[in-house]
Every structure is written in structure tokens, then in C-alpha cells.
């Protein structure tokens, strides 16, 4: 899933670009009307239909994050307004830091970059949307200058850097209320698609624990905000099954939170079956019980599999009070090979959102800004127009929004 194919994470050959958008006085901005803290069921309902601002703030060139490095335009307020007008209630903003982090021991984040992150957050936050921000590309072995590597030798240095970076992020956003959710990392694993390995999984668990402890102690609203953590590669089986995932303890959270409530959410992604959702060819273009051509439909990963996967998350986490967020899902455009493909893409989106709702999980559609062949895009980010109304309608239908 980290390949250029679906999510277009591979680096382009453009020269390194840096963002130099200084926004003085932003550090203490927050909503004038705080949102009351929500319990597990309320936060999932409040998140509603979610959308990813993919391939923008996590894009980079030669290790320098730049929102235009992967051919998407600069993010605008108008784009976020169009997303909200289309019925989405929450936005996940993937963020990379990489070479915008200075040297140790302070590991200071470039101030212009942190200002720009906050500015984009504010585009959504000040419109009343829920916002999720994470540390996205810093843990990919395929990204130059990535450093959050679970099987690297010097874990002490990695953990010290990780702690310092999250301390700065959490401090910057300390006055934002519960509509801002922080996510520890994204699809962290050893780069090999298979069973989890040690000590990699133990290090991922340690990162999550450092994240929770650091954010909680950063002051302001951080002591009670919802925090989102993934297991191995955000894989459902390797998170819900007995493969080593440990939910972080939350010893520094606000004493005002009732003892029987959680403030930690579990992140997973869903792109199954991959031959339909992400594989770049025209072989598998149909999905679900409505498929009309068996030769164009995958032999696995249909409605029953989707149901079983989200039931795993329900049985392991939701029943314990930990909300689940399907932080990415979607399928690429293969209408070049099958003119009916968008119908099945909509069926897939509707099924994911409806099944997630059935099992008490929130969903966030992956949009990489690419329209046409192999794209996940729902919007044209240049003209701020809808390009896939059928899929948006399906998402709203399935999620009940």
C-alpha cells in the first residue's frame, strides 16, 4: 500500500522544496466554542463520514516535506469548504516531518512547516470539522531520510527524537478541543508483508506508549483529547489477533475523565481485496454481490470477509471501550478497463462504511488527489469540484450521514 500505485507515495524527481509560509501568532489559536468531551460511541458518531487529504502534507522531495511535491496543488480553504459541503464530518491530514526536523538533542521542527500544518488544520477545524493529524512518512523505508524505523539499530536515538517531535506538536495544538485528534504514526512495520517480527513489534508498541505519555503531559486540552494509535502496518489481523499489539496505558490522562471511559482509539486500514482496491491493472474491476462478470471479481475479500474483519476489531477493542477508526480505505479508478467500475467502487465504499457503522467504527476515505486512471480522487483540487459524486453518495449512505 505504500507503493506509488494506489497512494502514490514514491518520490518524484522534482528538486527539494521547502515550505516557507510563516504564520505569526498562530500558536495559541483554537476554537472559541469548545466541544464537550465525547465518550466512545459519541466520538465515532461525531466523526461521521471522513476524508483523507492524502499526498499533500506528507508529500516530500529528497526528504523535505512539501505539499506540492507529488503534483497536488497547494491546499486551500476553498477545497476544505467543498469537502465539508459534500457531507464529510471529519478530515485526516497525513503529515511528514523528515528533514524539517533539526538535529538532536532538541530535534526542533522547522517553524514555517509547523505553521503551515497548523494553518491547514485551521481550514478544517474552524469550519467545525473533526481533524486528525499524524506522523505519516517518517516510518517508511521507501522514503529517503525516514527515521522512525522499527528494526533500526539505534532505538534509543529514535525514541528520543520521536518524543521531542511529538512534544512540539502537542504543545502547538494544546488549546484545541476534542475535535482535534492526534495519531501516533502510519503503517509502521519492517517493510516485509508477512507475520510481524520482533523486536519490531515491541518497538512499535513503545512508540505508541511514548506518544501517549508525551501528548498527555504537554498541557492544555491534551490531557483529555482522543489519541489514535495503530498496530503492525495498520493490519486488522495483526492488530486484533495475538501477534503482539499492546494498547498503551494512559496513566497521565485527566482525572476528570470517568474511570470507565477511554480516550484511546485504534487505527486500522482496509484495502481488501487488493487486486480490486489497489492493483494497477484492469484484471479485477468489480466487487460485491452485485458483480455481473465473475472473471472481473476477486476470489476473496467480499462482503463476508469485510464483515469478519471489522467484527474482529469490535470483539477485541470496541467492546472494551476503545473506538476503532478505519483511517484509510478506498479503491482505485479502473474505468479505463471497465466502464462499470465506478459502480463497484461505490458499492465497496458503501459496504465499508455501513459495516464499520454496524461494528461501532469510524471510516476515513483515502483520497490522493489523483483523478482518472488509478486515482483515488473524489475532488479536483485545482478547481475545487466534485469528480466522484456516486462514491460520495455511497459513503454518506453507508455511514448514515
| Mean pLDDT in residue range 193-210 | 97
Residue 23: what pLDDT?
39
pTM of the model: 0.92
Residue 51: what pLDDT?
98
Q: For 297-327, what is the HEC assignment?
A: ECCCCCHHHHHHHHHHHHHHCHHHCCCEEEE
- Per DSSP, the three-state class of 208 is helix
How many angstroms separate the CA atoms of 102 and 154, rounded? Answer: 18
Over residues 249-307, the pLDDT tens digits come to: 999 999 999 999 999 999 999 999 999 999 999 999 999 999 999 999 999 999 999 99
Over residues 321-363, the pLDDT tens digits come to: 999 999 999 999 999 999 999 999 999 999 999 999 999 999 9
Q: Where are the domains of the chain?
A: 4-399
| Mean pLDDT in residue range 311-319 | 98
Over residues 84-100, the pLDDT tens digits come to: 999 999 999 999 999 99
Residue 275: what pLDDT?
98
- Per DSSP, the three-state class of 152 is coil
Count Cα atoms within 13 angstroms, Cβ side, for 101: 26
| Mean pLDDT in residue range 59-79 | 97
Q: Per-residue pLDDT for 5 more than 50?
A: no
Residue 38: what pLDDT?
81
Helix (H) or strand (E) holding 133: strand 130-133
| Mean pLDDT in residue range 37-56 | 94
The neighbour count for residue 134, using CB atoms within 10 Å, is 24
What percent of the chain shows pLDDT beyond 90? Answer: 90
Q: Per-residue pLDDT for 372 more than 70?
A: yes
How many Å is the Cα radius of gyration of the chain?
Answer: 20
What fold does the segment set 4-399 form as a domain?
Answer: TIM Barrel (3.20.20)
Least confident of 7-21, 119-133, 207-221, 265-279: 7-21
Q: Per-residue pLDDT for 390 more than 50?
A: yes
* Positive or negative torsion for Cα 119, 124, 129, 132: negative
Contact 11, 3 (CB under 8 A): no
How many angstroms separate the CA atoms of 386 and 26, rounded? Answer: 31
- What rounded mean pLDDT belongs to the chain? 92
Q: Per-residue pLDDT for 6 more than 80?
A: no
Residue 301: what pLDDT?
98
Over residues 24-35, the pLDDT tens digits come to: 344 455 644 556
80: left (phi over 0), alpha (psi -120 to 50) or beta: alpha
Q: Per-residue pLDDT for 20 more than 50?
A: no
Q: Per-residue pLDDT for 4 more than 60?
A: no
Which residues lie across from 218 on neighbouring strands? Answer: none
Residue 114, C-alpha cell as written in the block: 509547523
Name, in order, each residue with C-beta under 8 angstroms of 124's C-beta and a sequence gap of 6 or more.
80, 83, 84, 91, 93, 131
Residue 13: what pLDDT?
30
Over residues 374-388, the pLDDT tens digits come to: 999 999 999 999 999
The stretches of 131-254 forming alpha helices (DSSP H) are 155-172, 200-216, 236-240
Residues taking part in catalysis: 187, 328
| Mean pLDDT in residue range 6-13 | 37
Residue 29: what pLDDT?
56
Helix (H) or strand (E) holding 356: helix 341-358
How many angstroms separate the CA atoms of 151 and 19, rounded? Answer: 31
Over residues 205-240, the pLDDT tens digits come to: 999 999 999 999 999 999 999 999 999 999 999 999
What percent of the chain shows pLDDT beyond 70? Answer: 91
Q: Whole-angstrom distance between the N-terminal and C-terminal Cα of the chain?
A: 28
Residue 258: what pLDDT?
93
Least confident of 16-20, 46-50, 76-80, 188-192: 16-20
Amino acid at each position: 500500500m505504500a507503493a506509488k500505485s494506489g497512494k502514490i507515495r514514491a518520490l518524484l524527481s522534482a528538486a527539494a522544496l521547502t515550505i516557507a509560509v510563516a504564520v505569526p501568532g498562530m500558536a495559541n489559536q483554537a476554537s472559541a466554542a469548545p466541544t464537550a468531551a465525547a465518550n466512545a460511541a459519541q466520538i465515532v458518531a461525531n466523526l461521521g463520514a471522513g476524508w483523507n487529504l492524502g499526498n499533500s502534507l506528507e508529500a516530500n522531495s529528497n526528504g523535505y516535506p512539501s505539499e506540492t511535491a507529488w503534483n497536488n496543488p497547494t491546499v486551500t480553504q476553498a477545497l476544505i469548504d467543498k469537502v465539508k459541503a459534500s457531507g464529510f464530518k471529519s478530515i485526516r491530514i497525513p503529515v511528514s516531518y523528515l528533514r524539517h526536523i533539526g538535529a538532536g538533542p532538541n530535534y526542533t521542527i522547522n517553524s514555517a512547516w509547523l505553521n503551515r500544518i497548523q494553518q491547514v488544520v485551521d481550514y478544517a477545524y474552524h469550519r467545525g470539522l473533526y481533524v486528525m493529524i499524524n506522523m505519516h512518512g517518517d516510518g517508511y523505508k521507501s522514503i529517503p531520510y525516514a527515521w522512525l524505523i522499527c528494526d533500526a539499530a539505534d532505538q534509543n536515538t529514535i525514541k528520543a527524537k520521536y518524543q521531542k517531535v511529538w512534544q512540539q506538536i502537542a504543545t502547538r495544538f494544546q488549546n484545541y478541543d476534542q475535535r482535534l485528534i492526534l495519531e501516533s504514526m502510519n503503517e509502521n512495520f519492517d517493510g516485509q508483508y508477512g507475520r510481524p517480527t520482533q523486536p519490531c513489534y515491541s518497538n512499535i508498541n513503545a512508540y505508541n506508549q511514548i506518544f501517549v505519555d508525551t501528548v498527555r503531559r504537554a498541557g492544555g486540552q491534551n490531557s483529555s483529547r482522543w489519541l489514535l494509535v495503530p498496530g503492525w502496518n495498520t493490519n486488522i489481523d495483526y492488530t486484533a489477533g495475538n501477534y503482539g499489539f499492546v494498547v498503551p496505558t494512559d496513566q497521565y490522562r485527566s482525572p476528570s475523565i470517568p474511570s470507565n471511559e477511554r480516550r484511546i482509539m485504534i487505527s486500522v486500514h482496509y484495502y481488501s481485496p487488493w487486486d480490486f482496491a489497489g492493483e494497477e491493472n484492469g484484471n479485477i474491476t468489480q466487487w460485491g454481490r452485485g458483480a455481473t462478470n465473475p472473471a472481473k471479481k476477486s476470489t476473496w475479500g467480499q462482503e463476508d470477509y469485510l464483515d469478519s474483519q471489522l467484527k474482529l476489531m469490535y470483539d477485541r477493542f470496541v467492546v472494551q471501550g476503545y473506538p476503532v477508526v478505519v483511517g484509510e480505505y478506498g479503491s482505485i479508478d479502473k474505468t479505463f478497463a471497465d466502464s462499470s467500475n465506478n459502480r463497484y467502487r461505490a458499492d465497496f465504499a458503501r459496504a465499508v462504511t455501513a459495516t464499520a457503522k454496524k461494528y461501532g467504527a469510524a471510516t476515513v476515505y483515502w483520497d490522493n488527489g489523483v483523478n482518472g486512471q488509478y486515482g483515488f480522487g473524489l475532488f479536483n483540487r485545482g478547481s475545487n469540484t466534485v469528480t466522484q459524486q456516486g462514491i460520495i453518495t455511497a459513503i454518506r449512505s453507508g455511514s448514515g450521514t
